Structure 1
Amino acid sequence: MPWPERVFAKRNNMMRLPILFAAVIAVCSGFAHAQVGEALQRPALMVKDPQRTVLVAAALAGTRIVAVGERGIVILSDDRGAHWYQVACPVSVTLTMVRFVDDKNGVAVGHGGAVLTTSDAGATWTLRLDGKRLAALAKATAKTIEEQRVADRLVADGPDKPFLDVLMWDAKKLLAVGAYGLAYYSSDAGQSWSSWTARLPNPKALHWYVISKAGNTLLLAGEQGLLVRSSDGGESFQSLNSPYKGSWFAGEFSSSGQLVLAGLRGNIWRTADSGNSWEHLPSPVPATITAMATQADGSLLLASQAGVLMQLKDKSLLPLKSPSVPMPSALLPIGGDLVLSMGIAGVVPVHTEARP
C-alpha cells in the first residue's frame, strides 16, 4: 500500500497527538531523532515520589496497579494506590499505554516505537521493539519498490514515531498501533514482529489512537474520524463510516458489547452493532474527552480535557461531585466507588458519586 508523503514529513511543530498527551509536550517536544534514539538506549531514572510525575496510562495486573508515563517511568502499587514504588525500565522514552491480559502478562508501548513486555506483573520489563528495529524489519521484508522507499525513509527518519495503543489477545498475541498508521503484530510475546500497517484500511496514513476488542470484534479508531473494524478476530479489516469527522481519542467496549467512542469538543457516540449505526450522547461538558473506563457495575466513566469526570448510565451523562482533576489522561477503577486518575498531577484518587 503506497503511503502518502505526509507519513514522513518532518514538521517543526509537534505532530498532532491526542490531547491526552498534551501534558508531556514539554518532555518530548517533537520526536527529535537524536533525543529519542538516546532515550531508547538509556534506562529510566529513578525519581523521588514517582506517583507525582506525569503519568499517561494505568492497568490492573491482578490486584496490583501498574502505571506508566513520562521518561519511561513505571510505578506499582499493591495496596490500592495508598503507596507506590518505581521499578526499573530499560528505556526513558514516554510510555503511552499499558495493558495486562492476566495477573502476570502485560505490555507497554510508547514513543520511539518502543514496545516492552512483562511476565511478572510489571516487576521487570523487556524491550521487544523500537523504532530502529521497526525500520530494519520494514527494510528486510520490503517486496515492492514502494515498500522499499517507505523502509528507506523509516531508516533515514530514525525512531521518531510513537505507538499510542496496544491490544493483547492473550499472553502471546499483541498488536501495537500508533502514529502515521503504524501497526505491528507479534504472535510470540514480542520476540518477532510483522507489519500490519498495509492490512488496515488507512490510505492517508492517519494516526491510530484507539484499539479495542470484544469477542472476535476489533475496532480501531483515530485521526479525522478514522474507523476500522474486524469481525473475525483480526483476520480481515473493513472501513466504517464515522458519525463525525473529528479525531477519536478514547473508546471502551461495555460488558454488554456496546462500544462508546469519544473525541473532540465533547463528541461521544455509542454503537450496539459494532459500528453499523451510531447514537449521539449529549455531553454536559463541551470539552475533548481524553479518557474512559468501565466500572464493576457496568457504568462508564469519562474524563474531559477540562478535568471534569462524568458517569454514563443508560443514556445520561452526569458530572461527578468530585473536584476536577488537572489534565487527566487515564482512568482506572479499582473497586467500590474509587477511581484513580492519571495525568499531569500524577495519581489522583477520585470518588464516583454523580451529581443528581
Structure 2
Amino acid sequence: MHTSTLWSAALRRGKRVGVAGAALVVACLGGAVASTARAPLPAPLDRPAIALTAPARAALLGLASAGSRVVAVGERGTVLLSDDAGATWRQAQSVPVSATLVAVQFVTPRTGWAVGHYGVVLRSDDGGEHWTRQLDGHGAAALMLQEAQASGDAKALVEAQRAVQEGADKPLLALHFRNEREGWVVGAFNLALTTRDGGQSWQSVSTRLPNPKAAHLYGFDQAQDDVLIAGEQGLLMHSSDGGLNFQPVATPYAGSFFGVTREADGAWLVAGLRGNVWRSADQGKTWTALTGQAPVSITGVLRDPQGQVWLANQAGQLLQPRPGADALGLVGTTAAQQPASLLRLADGSLLMAGWNGITRVPHDPATTAR
C-alpha cells in the first residue's frame, strides 16, 4: 500500500491507524516490498485494478445504487457489483486505475461517478461495468493554478503552485452529482471542483470557499440550490445559490465532521470525531448536541429515500436520531470494521461498507448483524 494511501485512509477516518489498521498496513507493506524486489510497479494512475480472489472481503469505502444494482468501491481501484441486493459480488470488468476509491454515486441506472486518491474521478455509462478516467491529481492541480491566477489571490497562488509541484496525490473524499451534467467533487486541503457537462471539463472553485486554513473537506450535501460542505476543525460552509457563494457557519465543536445531511424536516445534522453529532433547525444559528452514543467517531452517514437518517461509528454500531428528542438511539451492533458508507435497500435492510468488506444489516437490526 502506498504511504499516501495510508495517510489518506487515516485522514478519511479521522484517526491514527489503530491495531486493526496496523495489521492491514503491515500486510500490505510486506506485499509491496516483495513486489518491489521483483520489479518496480507502475504508479496507481498507470495500472488498472487487479483481479481479487475474494472480492466481497475487500476493504471498501463507498456504496451506491445503480437502479437495482449495488456498486461498491474501495482500496486499490476495487469496484464491486451485485445484482442480487448484495448477496453475491463480482468485480467490474474494467477500472483503469488502482488508486483507492472513496465514494461513488449513480444518477441513473447506467451513469455514475467514483472519486478517490490521486485526484481520481471516474465515470461509468454501463452501470459500473466499465470506467473511464475524467480527472486526476495532475489535472486538478493545473485547474487550481488557473483559478488562483485568475483570482489574483496571492495566498491561493502560492498554494496552487505547491499543489502542481507536489504531483498527483490529492485525495478526493466526497462527490455529489445533481443530475447527469452538474456535479461537485471535494477533498483534502480545500480541493473543490465542479462540472456542468458531465465531467468532460472541470473548474476549480476552491477560492469560493471561506476556508482560510485549507481544511480538509469530508462531507457534501445538496437540496436544490442549498449546499452544505463539512470538514475538519469544525468546518461547515453554506450556500443558498447552488454553490456560487458560500458563507462560513459557526459550529460548537472544533473537531472534524466526516458527514453532513438533513433530517426529514430540513434540520441540518453534522457528525464526526468522538461521536459528536449536532443538529440545527435554524440553518446554523443555534445548535443542539445529540446525546446517548459512545465517544466513538461517526464515519458513515446516510439519509435514505424515506428521509430517515442512519449513522455508523468506527465500532460498527448503527445509530438513529430519536424522534422528538435530542438523542441518538442504538439500532444495532454489527461486525463491520471501520464502516465508511451505508446503503438502504428496497427491502428495508442496510449494507455497510468497511475494512472487512460488506456487512448486511437486516430489516430488523435489533440483533447483531454479520
Contact 1:311–1:319 (8 Å) recurs in 2: yes
Partner amino acid, structure 1, of 2:61: V
Alignment match, 2:350: 339
Contact 1:246–1:263 (8 Å) recurs in 2: yes
Alignment match, 1:58: 63
* Residue 18 (1) aligns with residue 12 (2): yes
Cα displacement string for residues 146-202 of structure 1 (whole angstroms, at most 9, x for unaligned residues): 555433322221111100001112111111110000111111111111110101110
User: For residues 186 and 176 of structure 1, do their structure 2 counterparts lie closer, same or farther at Cα, with a shift above 3 Å needed?
Assistant: same
User: For residues 296 and 197 of structure 1, do their structure 2 counterparts lie closer, same or farther at Cα, with a shift above 3 Å needed?
Assistant: closer
* Residue 287 (1) aligns with residue 296 (2): yes
Alignment match, 1:70: 75
The root-mean-square deviation of aligned C-alpha atoms, in Å, is: 2.7
Q: 1:209 aligns with which of 187, 195, 218?
A: 218
Partner amino acid, structure 1, of 2:135: L
TM-score, length-scaled by structure 1? 0.88
Q: 1:199 aligns with which of 199, 204, 208?
A: 208
CA separation in 2, counterparts of 1:162 and 1:274?
Answer: 29
Matches within 5 A, 1:19-34: 19=13, 26=25
Q: 1:278 aligns with which of 252, 270, 287?
A: 287
User: For residues 52 and 168 of structure 1, do their structure 2 counterparts lie closer, same or farther at Cα, with a shift above 3 Å needed?
Assistant: same
Alignment match, 1:313: 322
User: For residues 266 and 146 of structure 1, do their structure 2 counterparts lie closer, same or farther at Cα, with a shift above 3 Å needed?
Assistant: closer
Alignment match, 1:179: 188
Question: Residue 322 of structure 1: CA displacement?
Answer: 4.5
CA separation in 2, counterparts of 1:269 and 1:170?
Answer: 29
TM-score, length-scaled by structure 2? 0.85
Contact 1:56–1:342 (8 Å) recurs in 2: yes
Question: Residue 126 of structure 1: CA displacement?
Answer: 1.2
Alignment match, 1:6: none
Alignment match, 2:364: 353
Partner amino acid, structure 1, of 2:364: E
CA separation in 2, counterparts of 1:257 and 1:344?
Answer: 32
Contact 1:311–1:354 (8 Å) recurs in 2: no
CA separation in 2, counterparts of 1:97 and 1:80?
Answer: 19
Say which SS state the counterpart of residue 340 (structure 2) adopts: strand
Contact 2:14–2:256 (8 Å) recurs in 1: no
Matches within 5 A, 1:148-297: 148-297=157-306
* Residue 41 (1) aligns with residue 46 (2): yes
Say which SS state the counterpart of residue 143 (structure 2) adopts: helix
Percent identical residues: 40
If asked which structure has higher relative contact order (CA below 8 Å, sep 6+), I would say 1
CA separation in 2, counterparts of 1:37 and 1:177?
Answer: 26
CA separation in 1, counterparts of 2:306 and 2:161?
Answer: 50
Task: Point out where structure 2 has 5 or more consecutive residues left out of the alignment.
Answer: 30-39
User: For residues 269 and 36 of structure 1, do their structure 2 counterparts lie closer, same or farther at Cα, with a shift above 3 Å needed?
Assistant: farther
Alignment match, 1:4: none
Question: Residue 305 of structure 1: CA displacement?
Answer: 1.0
Cα displacement string for residues 54-106 of structure 1 (whole angstroms, at most 9, x for unaligned residues): 00010111111111000000011111011111012111000011112232221
CA separation in 2, counterparts of 1:53 and 1:162?
Answer: 20
Alignment match, 1:101: 107
CA separation in 2, counterparts of 1:192 and 1:323?
Answer: 41
Question: Residue 138 of structure 1: CA displacement?
Answer: 3.4
CA separation in 1, counterparts of 2:177 and 2:340?
Answer: 21
CA separation in 1, counterparts of 2:126 and 2:268?
Answer: 31
Partner amino acid, structure 1, of 2:192: A
Contact 1:258–1:273 (8 Å) recurs in 2: yes
Alignment match, 1:3: none
Contact 2:320–2:330 (8 Å) recurs in 1: yes
